[in-house]
Structure 1
Amino acid sequence: MASFVTEVLASSGKLEKEDLAGKISKLSRRVEETKEEVSDMINKKYNEFLPTMQTAEELMDLVDAVSREIDTLKSCIENEVQRNLHEAATEYSKLRQQLEKNTAVIGILQHLKEFDSAMGEYYQALQGKKYIAAAEQYAQESVAALQTWSCSDTSLLKALRSELTIQRENLSYHLGEEWHKLAVWKLPPSKDLTSAKAFLGTELHLNCGGSKDESGPHPLLPSVLQALAVQGELHKKIKMFGHVLLKYILRPVIMYPSLVVEVGQNEQATVVSLQMQETSALNSTPSQVYNKVCIVLETLHKHLFGRPFPFADVSVGEQKVSLVVGDLIWEDLSDCIIKECLLHSIPSSSCQLDQYSAVIDETEQFEKHLKEMGYLSGEATDLLKYARNVNSHFATKKCQDVIVAARKLMTAEMHSTVKISPDYKLSLPKLPSPGGERERFEGRKACQQEPQLESEQQLGPRTLCLPVCRVSESVQQIVELAVHTLSEAVGSSTTCAVQLFYTVRNIFHLFYDVVPMYHKESFLKFPHLAAIQHNNCMFLAHHLLTLGHQFKPHLPLKDSIAYFVDLVPSFRRLGIQCFVAQMNVQKSEMLERLSNGRNFANLDDDENYSAASKAVRQVIHQLRRLGKVWQDVLPVNVYCKAMGTLLNTAICDITAKILQLEDISSEDGAHLYALCQIILEEGPLVFTPLPEESKNKKYQEEVPVYVKKWMTFKELSIVLQASLQEIVDRWAEGKGPLALVFTSNEMKGLIRALFQNTDRRAVALTKIK
C-alpha cells in the first residue's frame, strides 16, 4: 500500500505526461479491494465473533491512508490540471484569431483581384464609349464592398479608394460631356429678360445619336441616359435641363404672344429656336399656347426623351425619361399657363360662358397629347381642373374686376358732375319673369276681382323721386356698375350669384370706407366737393332702397337677407356728416370775420366803423360765394337750410354784440342801423332762385323760415332808429312784435344804451314788463 502511495506522489509532477484516467482506474480498484477487506472484517467480527481487533485497526489505518491519497490526487487535479487547461484555451484562442486574420487577408486579396478585374473592364468600356457597361462595372458588388471596407488605415486601400473616386469623377465628366453634346443650349446674352425681344437669341440644338464618327447598331443617346441613371445623376441633369427649358423657351412663348417656336434641321442637329411675329394681342389664347408647347415637347420626345429604360429608383415596371421630365416641369408649366393664359381667357360676361367649352376641350386634348408622349400620367391635373371650374373662376375674376373698377371710380376726381332731375330713372336690363304665364294670369285675375275702394288714395307720380341736384359722374357709374354686376348674377349658378351679390355689397362698403378718407382734405377745403359728396351719399342711399327689391325675385338668396336696405342709414349719416363738417368750417370763418368788427362799439370813430363795415361786407361776400357754389348743386330745400343756418349764425353774433353795448350814441345808432340794413337788404338775395327755378320764389319770401333770428334782427334794426314811444308801442305790454323776439331785460338794456337817463326813459322802462 505504501509503495502505491509513494509511486503516486512521486509521479505527481509529471501528470501532464501520463494518462490521468488510468491512474484513477487503478485507485478505484484499490478502493474496491479495501472495501472488500473491510466488509470481510466486519463480517467476521459481528457474524463469526472472531477477536480481530488488531486487524480492524490496521484496516482503519489503511482506510485513512487511502483517503489521504484521494485528497492529494484531488488537490493535484485542481491545481495542475486546471492550470494546464487555461493555457491550452489561451493557445487555442490565439490560433483562432490568427486563422481569422488569414481568412480576412485572403478575402481582401480576393476583393482586390475582383476590383482589378472590374477596373480593367471599366477602362475598356469607357474607352469604347460603352457607358452602360462602365457604369455597371463601377457600381458592381466588389467595388461597393471596397468602398465600405473597415481597414481604412491601410495605405493600399487608401490609394485604391482615391483611384475609385478619380474614376467616378472621370465617368461623370465623360457622361456630362456626352450629355452636353446631345443637348446644346445657345442662350441670349442679355440678363434683362423682361421683353419678348430679349429671348430671340435662344436656341436648343439636339445632336441625336452622339458624335459624328459614332457607328453601330445602338445609338449613343440611351447609353448616356442609362449610364447617368446608374450613376444616380440623371434626375439632376434633367432637372437642370427642365429649368433652362422653362426659363428660356416654355415661359416666354406662354407670356409673349409675339414669340413663336420654329424647329429646323441641319446636318448635325435639330434646332429649336424662338422667332418674333407681329401681333397686337396682349395675351395668347389657350390654343396658341398649347400649340407652341406641344411643338417643343414633341421635338424633345422625338429626338431626346422618347426612349424607355429602367431606372434604379423605380421599383415597378419601366419608366420613360419623358415622364421624369414631365414630373419635374409640369407643376411650374401648368402654373404659368394658368396665370399667363387661362386666367386672361376667363370670360368677363356670363353670356360668354357657353363659348368657354371650346377652351375646356382644347385643354383636354392638350393633356391627352402629353399623356400619349409620356410626359403625364393618367391622373387628373390642376390645369384641366382649373379650366373646368370656369364658373367659379368667372365669378372670382368678375368680382376682382368689379372691385378694381369701383375703387378706380372712387379715387377719381369728383368735379365732373351730372344733373339729376325728378324724371331720372335708373336704366335696368331686361330681367326674366320670376313666375310663369299661369302665375301672371292668376295675379291679373286676382287684381281684377279685388274690390276698389272709392276713398283709396294712390301714390303720387313723384313718389320716391330724387330732387333736382348734381352728383358726380363717378358715383353714377358706380351705381351702373352695381346694376350690371347684379344682372350678371341673374341666371348664373347659385355659388356665382351669391358671390356676385356680396361683391356688390362690398362695392358700397368700399365706398363708405375709402371715399371719406381719400378725399378728406378736399371735403374740408372745398365747399363744392362737400356738397357733391352729400348728394352722392343721398343718391346711393336712394338707390339702395330699391335696388334689392328690383333683383330679389331673380337671385337665389334666402328671404331673410336684407339686401341693401340696411346700408341706407349709414350712407345718409355719412353724407350729413361730411356736409356738417363743411358747415362748421364756414361758421368758423364767418365768426372769425365778425370778430374783426371790434364788437361794433364806438362806431362814431371812422376806423371802428370801417372795421365793422368790412366785417359785415365779408360775411355777405362769403354767403354770396357759397350761394354760387352750392345753389346749382344742392337740392333747393337743403340749400336754403344751409344758407339760412349760416346767415342766422352771423345775425346771432351781431345781435349779441349790439345787446352787450352799454352806451349807444345817436351817431352809433345810425351806423349800426346802416350795417343792419346791409344784412336785411342783401342777406335775402342769397336765396334768389336760379332762372330755371323761378317757381321757387317762395324760398326768398320765406326767409324767416330758414333764418330763425331773422325777425329778431329786423326788430333790432327798427329799435335802433325808433323813439321811446315807438318802442313802448311795439312792446304793447308784452304782446307786441318786440315782446316776441326780446326779453324784458334785453329790451331794458337796449333802451338804457340808446337813451339818456330821463323821466321819460324811466316811464318807458316801467312799461317794459
Structure 2
Amino acid sequence: MADNDVDSIIANLFTPDETNWTPSQKIPVILKEIEKAKAEMKVFLNNNDFDVAAVLKEGNELCAESQGLVQEMEACKQEIETVTMAEILKSIESHDLIAKELESVTFAYSIVNDIINCGKYLKEFEEGKEVQSFTRAVEAVYDLLMYIENPSEGFDQLEIYSNAKVTGQLILENIVRDLFLEWDRMVCFNSRTDDRNCTTVTITLTLNESLLSIDVLNALDKCKKLDERVDELAQFIMKEVLIPFMHEYCLTYSETDDVTVVTVSIEHKKDYVPTYEEVITNIRLFFHYLSQKLNVEFKRSTTLMSLIGRQLRDEFTEMIVKDVFIHTVPNNITDLQAYNSVTSVIHSFQQFLSSVYFYPEKGYSLLNYMNNIDYLFADRSSQYFLETARSIMLKDLSVSMSIGVEKIPEGGRLRRLSNGDYNEAVTILDTTMPNSLFYFPRCMISKTAQELLDLVYGLMEQAVQCTDVVCRKLYNTARLIFELYDAVVPYHHENFLLTIPQYVALFHNNCMYLAHNLQTLGDKWLNLMEGCEVSYAISFVDLVQKMRDLGYKYLTMQMQQQRKQILDNIRTSDLNCIVAKDVLNENAEAAVRQCLRQLQILKNVWIGVFPANVFTRLMATLVNMFLDELIHRVCTVEDISVEMATQLTDMYNLVVQKTPQLFHKPADVESHVQPWPKFKELIFVLGASLRDLESHWNDGTGPLAVHFKTEELRNLIKALFQNTQYRANFLSKIK
C-alpha cells in the first residue's frame, strides 16, 4: 500500500490526450480501482504483526484506569480545600508575628552594635594616646567619624550618637592642633628685612628619621593636613628664596654642622642681575641643605622634598627658564657655537634636582627651550643690536670725525674698474650714473653715525653665517635700527637740534651719510651671502629718501630760524621805517652788523662741517635773503634824504666788505649770490648823480637796466632826487 501513488493512478484514469469523456464513463473505472485498493489494504492488514483487537482492549483498560485517577484527584482537591488551607492560613499568621519579632531584635542589635563600635574606636584612640602614637590616634578618630557618618536606623536618634559625634570632632581638632605644634617645632621659617635693605631668610629644620617625626608626618597625612603645611612651606621657599636667587645677590649658608638652620642672606642691589652660575650654585646649596632634613621617607616612596617638588616644579621650571636660562642664549654666532658648555651645566643641575627628589626621574627637562634655539638666538641678537643701537643714538652728536673724499673722481665708475667690453645698456648706465652715488663728499659727521653703521655691518656679517630664520630676523632688525634712528635721535637731541647750528649740521650730514650707505647696503648683504637664495627681498633703498628727508627737515627748520632772526633784526630797526625819518638811528647799523655777525658765526660753525658745495649753497641762500631784504627796504621808499642816503651807503658798503668773507673763496659771492650785482649797483645809485645814473642806464643797455626793473629804478630816482627838468627828462627815457 505504501507503494500506491495517487497521482499515478489519476494519471492512468485521465490521460492528457483524452478530452471527450463523461462521468458515467469513468465511474466504473474508479469503482474498480477502489475495490482494488481495498483488497490491497486487507492483504496489508493481514500481513501486519500488530494485534488490533488486543490493542483495542488495552486501550479500553487504560481509559477505565484514568477515570479512577481523576476521581481520586477530585477527592484530594476537596480535602485540601477543607483541611490544608485552614492550616496554611494559620501558619501565615505565625510567620508575620515571628518576622515582627525578628525585625525588633535586628533593630536593637544594630543600635547595640553601633554603640559597641563607637566604644571600640574610642578605646583604640585612648590606646594610641597612651603609647603616644599620633597615627593610631588619628586613625581611630577618623574611623569613628566615618562610622558615625552612616549610622544605623534609630542610632542617630540617641543622645549617645550626638555625644560621640561631638567628641570625635573635638578629639580630631585637638589632635590637629597638637600636630601643628609638632610641625612648627620641626619646621620653622621666617624672613626679616633690616635697615640696610638686606633680607635674611631663616629655615629651621629638626626633622629626622626618628619614629616621632615619621609618626607626626603620617598623622598629618592621615588627617589630610600635610599638603596644607607643605604648600605653606613651598610657597615661602618659592617667594622668599628661589625667586630672589634669580634676581638678587644672595648668600646661602648653614649656621650649624648638622644643617638644622639654613640661612639665606639677600642683598637688594640696584640693577644687579646674577649670572646663571650664581643662580645654580645658590639653588644647589640650598636644596642640598634641605634634602638632608626633608628627605625623610614617611610612607612608601614619599618624602617632604618630593611633596615640595610636586608643588613647585612646574612654576619653578617656567620661571628659571624664562628669567635665567633664556638669558644665557648668546647674541653672537661665536658664543652660540660654544653654548654646549652652558647646556652641560644646566643638564647637571637638572640631574641634581632629580637626585634630591625635587624633580621626578622622568617627565621634566630644563633644556626644552633649546628646541627653539634659533628663534631665541634671533630674538637675543635682535634685542642686543637694537639696545646697542639705541645707546649709540643717545650719545653726544658733537663728537665728530671727518669722512668722505675731497674730490669726486671723473669718468664712469665701470670704465674705471675695467676696460672690458659692455653692451649698449651698460654703457649708457655707466655714462649717465652720477659719481656721487658711489662717493661721499668730504665733511664732518658724528662719530655715533659711524658707530651705528659699523654696528649694522657687524650685524650683517653675523646674519649671513646663521640659519635662514635668524638671517631674516636680523635683516628686519637692521631695518628697524634705521627706523629707530628716525624716532630716537630727533626726540632725544631735540633741544640741541632746534638751538645749536653745529648740531643741525652734523645731524644733517649723519642722515646723508647713512642714506648714502643704505643705497648699497642690500647689495653688500647679498654679496656676503655668496649666492644663497632667499624667499624675501633684501633692500634698504626704500629707507634712503626717508633718511634724507629727516636731515632736510631739521636743516630746513634751522634755516627758517636763521632767516627769521635776520629779518627780525632788520625789521625791528629804523630800516623798517625809512620813509618816516630823515636820518637813521644807530640801531639800523647795529642791526646790519648783527646780521653780518650772525652769518659769520654760522660760517665758523658750518665751514668744514658741511661739504663745501652744501655750505656754499646754504650761506648763499641766507645772504640772498639778507641782500634782498636790504634792497627791498630802499627800493620801496618814496623819499630818501641825502643824509640817509649817505648812511645807507656806508652800511651797505660794510655789507659788501664783509659778505665775501662768509664763503670759502671771496669769488663765490659773485657766482652764488644772485642779488650781489644789484646790491652793489644799489650802493652806486645811493651815492651817484643823475648824470652818473644816466651813463649807467645807457639807453637801457647799462648795468641799471640789467639789474633793476623799470618801476624799481623810477621809484628809486624819485626818492633820491628832487623833481627837476633833468630828472623828468631822465625818467622819460626809462621805459
C-alpha distance in 2 between matches for 1:569 and 1:422: 22
Cα shift readout 1:64-116 (whole Å, capped 9, x = no counterpart): xxxxxxxxxxxxxxxxxxxxxxxxxxxxxxxx999999977764554343223
| CA separation of 1:112 and 1:596: change in aligned 2, threshold 3 A | same
Partner of 1:590: 566
| CA separation of 1:319 and 1:707: change in aligned 2, threshold 3 A | same
Whether 2:171 is the aligned partner of 1:167: answer yes
Q: Does the 8 A contact of 1:203 with 1:271 survive in 2? A: yes
Cα distance, 1:618 vs. partner?
Answer: 1.1
Q: Choose from 543, 547, 563 the match for 2:517.
A: 543
* SS of residue paired to 1:383: coil
Cα shift readout 1:625-662 (whole Å, capped 9, x = no counterpart): 11112113222111111111111111111211211111
Whether 2:495 is the aligned partner of 1:521: answer yes
| CA separation of 1:402 and 1:194: change in aligned 2, threshold 3 A | farther
> 1:125-136 to 2 correspondence within 5 Å?
125-136=128-139
C-alpha distance in 1 between matches for 2:660 and 2:150: 109
C-alpha distance in 2 between matches for 1:356 and 1:504: 25
Q: Does the 8 A contact of 2:660 with 2:668 survive in 1? A: no
Q: Choose from 538, 543, 556 the match for 1:567.
A: 543
Whether 2:141 is the aligned partner of 1:138: answer yes
Partner of 1:729: 695
Q: Does the 8 A contact of 2:138 with 2:223 survive in 1? A: yes
Cα distance, 1:534 vs. partner?
Answer: 0.9
Whether 2:615 is the aligned partner of 1:639: answer yes
C-alpha distance in 2 between matches for 1:514 and 1:275: 41
> 1:537-686 to 2 correspondence within 5 Å?
537-555=511-529, 558=534, 560-599=536-575, 608-686=584-662
Partner of 1:342: 325
Cα distance, 1:571 vs. partner?
Answer: 0.7
Whether 2:306 is the aligned partner of 1:323: answer yes
Cα shift readout 1:445-495 (whole Å, capped 9, x = no counterpart): xx9986799999789998622222222222222212222222221211222
C-alpha distance in 2 between matches for 1:640 and 1:175: 93
> 1:409-488 to 2 correspondence within 5 Å?
409-422=392-405, 464-488=438-462
C-alpha distance in 2 between matches for 1:353 and 1:539: 33
Q: Does the 8 A contact of 2:145 with 2:169 survive in 1? A: no
| CA separation of 1:263 and 1:450: change in aligned 2, threshold 3 A | farther
* SS of residue paired to 2:444: strand
| CA separation of 1:100 and 1:708: change in aligned 2, threshold 3 A | farther
Cα distance, 1:613 vs. partner?
Answer: 1.2
Q: Does the 8 A contact of 1:309 with 1:319 survive in 2? A: yes
| CA separation of 1:117 and 1:423: change in aligned 2, threshold 3 A | farther
Counterpart residue type for residue 349 of structure 1: N
Cα distance, 1:159 vs. partner?
Answer: 4.1
Cα shift readout 1:422-454 (whole Å, capped 9, x = no counterpart): 289xxxxxxxxxxxxxxxxxxxxxx99867999
Q: Choose from 203, 228, 233 the match for 1:236.
A: 228
| CA separation of 1:260 and 1:288: change in aligned 2, threshold 3 A | same
Q: Does the 8 A contact of 1:360 with 1:384 survive in 2? A: yes
* SS of residue paired to 2:367: helix
C-alpha distance in 2 between matches for 1:760 and 1:101: 157
Instruction: Say how many residue pairs are matched.
Output: 620
Partner of 2:15: none
| CA separation of 1:100 and 1:605: change in aligned 2, threshold 3 A | farther
C-alpha distance in 2 between matches for 1:554 and 1:379: 45
Counterpart residue type for residue 218 of structure 2: Q
* SS of residue paired to 1:608: coil
Counterpart residue type for residue 174 of structure 1: D
C-alpha distance in 1 between matches for 2:108 and 2:596: 120
Q: Choose from 474, 477, 487 the match for 1:500.
A: 474
Counterpart residue type for residue 521 of structure 1: N
Q: TM-score, normalised by structure 2?
A: 0.75
Whether 2:464 is the aligned partner of 1:490: answer yes
Q: Does the 8 A contact of 1:604 with 1:668 survive in 2? A: no
Partner of 1:365: 348
C-alpha distance in 2 between matches for 1:168 and 1:455: 102
Partner of 1:246: 238
Cα shift readout 1:114-165 (whole Å, capped 9, x = no counterpart): 223212212321342322222222222x422424769989765554433222
| CA separation of 1:609 and 1:257: change in aligned 2, threshold 3 A | closer
C-alpha distance in 2 between matches for 1:103 and 1:652: 128
Unaligned ranges ≥5, structure 2: 1-98, 408-417
Q: Does the 8 A contact of 2:398 with 2:446 survive in 1? A: yes
Partner of 1:386: 369
C-alpha distance in 2 between matches for 1:452 and 1:244: 80
Cα distance, 1:619 vs. partner?
Answer: 0.9
Partner of 1:81: none
Deviates most, 564-573 or 611-620: 611-620
Q: Does the 8 A contact of 2:118 with 2:164 survive in 1? A: no
Q: Does the 8 A contact of 2:250 with 2:264 survive in 1? A: no
Cα shift readout 1:287-334 (whole Å, capped 9, x = no counterpart): 554454344434544542352636xxxxxxx65554332121223433
Counterpart residue type for residue 680 of structure 1: V
| CA separation of 1:101 and 1:190: change in aligned 2, threshold 3 A | farther
| CA separation of 1:335 and 1:733: change in aligned 2, threshold 3 A | same
Q: Does the 8 A contact of 1:624 with 1:686 survive in 2? A: yes
| CA separation of 1:533 and 1:448: change in aligned 2, threshold 3 A | closer
C-alpha distance in 1 between matches for 2:305 and 2:576: 98
| CA separation of 1:569 and 1:164: change in aligned 2, threshold 3 A | same
| CA separation of 1:108 and 1:648: change in aligned 2, threshold 3 A | farther
* SS of residue paired to 1:180: helix
| CA separation of 1:608 and 1:461: change in aligned 2, threshold 3 A | closer
C-alpha distance in 1 between matches for 2:122 and 2:593: 112
Q: Does the 8 A contact of 2:659 with 2:669 survive in 1? A: no
| CA separation of 1:308 and 1:720: change in aligned 2, threshold 3 A | same
Unaligned ranges ≥5, structure 1: 1-95, 211-218, 311-317, 425-446, 690-696
Cα distance, 1:589 vs. partner?
Answer: 0.9
Q: Does the 8 A contact of 2:649 with 2:687 survive in 1? A: yes
Whether 2:225 is the aligned partner of 1:221: answer no
Q: Choose from 288, 300, 307 the match for 2:297.
A: 307
Cα distance, 1:243 vs. partner?
Answer: 2.3
Whether 2:185 is the aligned partner of 1:178: answer no
Cα shift readout 1:161-194 (whole Å, capped 9, x = no counterpart): 3322221221212222232333344x45426796
Q: Does the 8 A contact of 1:286 with 1:362 survive in 2? A: no
* SS of residue paired to 1:492: coil
Cα distance, 1:551 vs. partner?
Answer: 1.5
Cα distance, 1:344 vs. partner?
Answer: 4.3
* SS of residue paired to 1:662: coil
C-alpha distance in 2 between matches for 1:192 and 1:98: 83
| CA separation of 1:461 and 1:747: change in aligned 2, threshold 3 A | closer
Q: Does the 8 A contact of 1:206 with 1:304 survive in 2? A: no
| CA separation of 1:255 and 1:655: change in aligned 2, threshold 3 A | closer
Partner of 2:704: 738
Cα distance, 1:343 vs. partner?
Answer: 4.1
Counterpart residue type for residue 468 of structure 2: T
Q: TM-score, normalised by structure 1?
A: 0.72
RMSD: 3.8
Deviates most, 235-244 or 606-615: 606-615
C-alpha distance in 2 between matches for 1:308 and 1:530: 77
